[in-house]
């Protein structure tokens, strides 16, 4: 008996009597003697609640990253999260519930996710969205698989300007199925090379996977990509930073067939990488080929509006080896965080946040360039940008870390001197000026 296990010896004995055995050990007789453990597991000694609090405080103190002023992005962003988000997420009713298998007593989760789907679809400019994927990377990989189901073609083209981690995940997901992946190079402006696209797509492709704003923060020409894809019977999968959709056109409106991304910027803490929630939005026509859960609106026997998981015949528990994906548990609570965040910020607040990210990123970029960095690409960016530094990026990183900043990410792919910066609405002018100052100083030190 402990703080989580309620039945004391007396009760347990009564229960064993009802069961018809004498000792607890009798219940383990099906476990072959040979594998039945005799002693205890070799684990660290148990801790009381108080000791555990102290231990976690110690671990938290061994971290320092959270105290740095963050200019790093590349898939995870330091946005402000209104306190109301977590107040909802910590409601027992939401966070301790299981997947809404019994719809009549799960309307809370179901309606919330229905609203999430609506907001994501509107953000992406598509007709529909699913209930969420693990993260942006796996959503991208699943979108590629989905495109192959839709088109029956076994090859995808992936932009060279896609986040390299996403690219790795796509490979992991696609390789065992024997699918082919080809990379579309980017041009000197940092954008997809349209000529290369046209050439590569000749060989037939299920999809073109394009990130916009791309890994370097640059806005791709989605309309053009979509045209090319369409002309070649390929789908266009766009990986989008949801914040950017507050300022730039929705990929769905520009012809993207599937829009995926990570919901982290929408009310989810950076949390060393997870849990986040991938989103996947598409047109109604493709719903039946889509991976993951989807919530639909319906009625109860009295005609009251209600919500259920629908199109389950695509899913693993029904379709088994023919399922559209193996995904079962997803990241529902994080999708709820997205929904709460988007309702709080709302039309005006969300757009203002996106605008501020944009303005601040441009302010920082100009400041860093003035202080000695050089632009790498000329294409317009939203809130992330790559610069060439006057020296080794890792050396700059060290110096800026010591100055209390988490600077941009060194991007060896662009050279030893390249760094990718991200800015959120949370950064103040003061912080940026201080960062530019520290960078300036570092320029004098690194050669």
Partner 1 sequence: MEKTLFAISCPGRIGVSLPECDVPETEIPNDLARTGEIGLPQVTEGQVMRHFVRLSNRNYNIEKGIYPLGSCTMKYNPRLHEALARIPGLAALHPLSPDHTVQGTLELMHALGTCLCEITGFSGVTLQPAAGAQGEFTGLMLIRSAHLAAGEPGRDKVLMPDSAHGTNPATSTMAGMKVVPVKSNDHGMVDVEDVKAKVGPDTAALMLTNPNTLGLFDSNILEITEAVHRAGGLNYMDGANMNAMLGVARPGDMGFDVCHLNLHKTFSTPHGGGGPGSGPVCCNERLEPYLPNPVVVKNNDGYALSGMGNTSFGRLMAFHGNVGVLYRAYAYIMTLGAAGLREVTEGAVVNANYLKARLRGHYPVPFDNGPCMHEFVAGGPEMAGLGLKTLDVAKRLLDYGFHAPTVYFPLIVKEALMMEPTETETMESIDEFAEALIAIAREAREKPHLLTDAPVNTPVLRLDEVKAAKELVVVEPREES
Residues numbered 41 to 60 that lie near partner 1 (CB under 8 A) are 41-53, 55-60
Residue 414 binds partner 1 (CB under 8 A)? no
Query: Minimal distance in Å, beta carbon 85 to a copy of itself?
Result: 11
Closer residue to ligand PLP, CB minimum distance, 75 or 292: 292
Q: Which of 92, 152, 444, 447 binds partner 1 (CB under 8 A)?
A: 92
Integer CA distances (angstroms), 384 to 191, 218, 379, in order: 14, 8, 12
CA distances from 302 to 37, 256, 299, 306, 442 (A): 55, 40, 8, 11, 70
Straight-line distance from the first to the last Cα atom of the chain, in angstroms, rounded to the nearest whole number:
64
| Contact with partner 1 (CB under 8 A) among 65, 199, 233, 378 | 65
Nearest distance, CB of residue 108 and a copy of itself, angstroms: 14
**Is residue 280 a contact point for partner 1 (CB under 8 A)?**
no
The answer to whether residue 107 forms part of the interface with partner 1 (CB under 8 A) is yes
| Residue 447 found at the interface with partner 1 (CB under 8 A) | no
Q: Which of residues 212-251 bind partner 1 (CB under 8 A)?
A: 219, 245-250
155-159 and 207-211 strand pairing: parallel
Six-digit token string for 160 = 């060279």
Binding residue (CB under 8 A) for partner 1 from 188, 195, 271, 412: 271
Binding positions for ligand PLP, 309-328, rule CB under 6 A: 328
Residue with Cβ nearer partner 1 (153 or 409)? 409
- DSSP at 238: E
**Measured from the CB atom, is 169 or 196 closer to partner 1?**
169
**Contacts with 432 (C-beta within 8 Å, 6 or more apart), sequence order:** 360, 363, 364, 367, 423
**Which contacts (CB < 8 Å, 24+ apart) does range 64-67 have?**
65/406, 67/404
Task: Give 127's contacts (C-beta < 8 A, 6+ positions apart).
Answer: 121, 252, 282, 283, 284
Of 137, 158, 197, 238, the residue at the interface with partner 1 (CB under 8 A) is 137
Q: What is the DSSP string of 160-196?
A: TTS-HHHHHHHHHHHGGGT-EEEEEPB-TTSSB-HHH
Asked if 47 touches ligand PLP (CB under 6 A), the answer is no
Question: Residue 149 belongs to what H/E stretch?
Answer: helix 136-151
| 333-372: contacts with partner 1 (CB under 8 A) | 333-334, 336, 340, 342-353, 355-356, 358-360, 362-363
Contact residues for a copy of itself (CB under 8 A)? 49-50, 53, 80, 82-83, 87, 90-92, 425-426
CB of 258 to a copy of itself, least distance (A): 34
* Contact status, residue 28 vs residue 36, Cβ threshold 8 Å: yes
Nearer to partner 1, 164 or 372 (CB): 164
Beta carbon of residue 202, minimum distance to partner 1 (angstroms, whole number): 27
Closer CB to partner 1, 113 or 143, in the complex: 113
Output the smallest distance, CB 180 to ligand PLP, in A: 28
Kindly report the number of other CB atoms within 10 A of residue 285's CB atom. Answer: 11
The smaller minimum CB distance to partner 1, of residues 46 and 152, is found at: 46
- Among residues 180, 183, 194, 287, which is the contact residue for partner 1, using CB under 8 A? 287
329 binds ligand PLP (CB under 6 A): yes
Please tell me the distance from the alpha carbon of residue 245 to that of residue 351, in angstroms, as a whole number.
Answer: 8
Residue 35 or 83: the one with the smaller Cβ distance to a copy of itself is: 83
Q: Which of residues 181-210 bind partner 1 (CB under 8 A)?
A: none
Q: Between 88 and 158, name the residue whose CB sits nearer to a copy of itself.
A: 88
Q: Does residue 283 bind partner 1 (CB under 8 A)? A: no
Give the up-direction half-sphere exposure of residue 115: CA atoms within 13 A in the CB hemisphere. Answer: 16
HEC per residue, 319-385: HHHHCCCCCCCCCHHHHHHHHHHHHHHHHHHHHHHHHHHHHHHHHHHHHHHHHCCEECCCCCECCEE
Q: Interface with ligand PLP by CB under 6 A: which residues?
A: 328-329
């Amino acid at each position: 008996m402990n703080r989580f296990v309620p039945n004391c010896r007396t009760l347990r004995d009564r229960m064993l009597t009802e069961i018809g055995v004498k000792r607890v050990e009798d219940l383990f007789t099906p476990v072959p003697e040979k594998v039945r453990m005799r002693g205890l597991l070799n684990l660290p000694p148990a801790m009381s609640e108080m000791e555990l609090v102290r231990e976690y405080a110690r671990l938290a103190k061994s971290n320092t990253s959270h105290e740095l002023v963050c200019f790093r992005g590349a898939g995870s962003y330091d946005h402000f999260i209104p306190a109301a988000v977590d107040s909802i997420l910590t409601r027992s009713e939401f966070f301790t519930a299981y997947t809404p298998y019994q719809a009549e007593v799960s309307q809370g989760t179901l309606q919330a996710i229905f609203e999430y789907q609506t907001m994501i679809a509107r953000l992406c400019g598509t007709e529909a969205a699913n209930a969420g994927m693990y993260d942006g990377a796996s959503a991208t990989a699943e979108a590629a698989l989905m495109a192959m189901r839709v088109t029956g073609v076994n090859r995808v083209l992936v932009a060279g300007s896609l986040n390299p981690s996403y690219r790795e995940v796509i490979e992991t997901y696609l390789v065992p199925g024997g699918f082919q992946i080809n990379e579309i190079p980017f041009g000197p402006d940092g954008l997809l090379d349209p000529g290369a696209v046209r050439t590569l797509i000749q060989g037939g492709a299920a999809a073109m996977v394009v990130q916009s704003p791309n890994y370097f923060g640059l806005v791709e020409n989605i309309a053009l990509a979509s045209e090319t894809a369409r002309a070649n019977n390929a789908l266009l999968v766009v990986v989008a930073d949801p914040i950017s959709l507050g300022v730039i056109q929705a990929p769905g409106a520009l012809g993207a067939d599937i829009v995926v991304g990570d919901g982290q910027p929408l009310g989810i803490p950076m949390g060393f990488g997870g849990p986040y929630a991938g989103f996947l939005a598409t047109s109604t026509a493709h719903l039946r080929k889509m991976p993951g859960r989807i919530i639909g609106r319906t009625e109860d026997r009295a005609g009251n509006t209600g919500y259920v998981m629908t199109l389950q015949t695509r899913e693993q528990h029904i379709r088994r080896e023919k399922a559209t994906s193996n995904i079962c548990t997803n990241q529902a609570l994080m999708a709820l965080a997205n929904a709460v965040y988007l309702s709080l910020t709302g039309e005006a607040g969300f757009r203002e946040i996106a605008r501020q990210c944009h303005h601040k990123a441009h302010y920082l970029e100009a400041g860093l360039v003035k202080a000695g960095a050089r632009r790498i690409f000329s294409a317009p960016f939203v809130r992330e940008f790559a610069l060439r530094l006057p020296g080794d990026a890792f050396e700059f990183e060290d110096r800026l870390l010591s100055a209390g900043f988490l600077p941009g990410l060194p991007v060896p792919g662009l050279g030893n001197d390249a760094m990718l910066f991200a800015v959120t609405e949370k950064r103040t002018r003061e912080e940026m000026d201080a960062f530019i100052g520290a960078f300036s100083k570092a320029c004098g030190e690194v050669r």
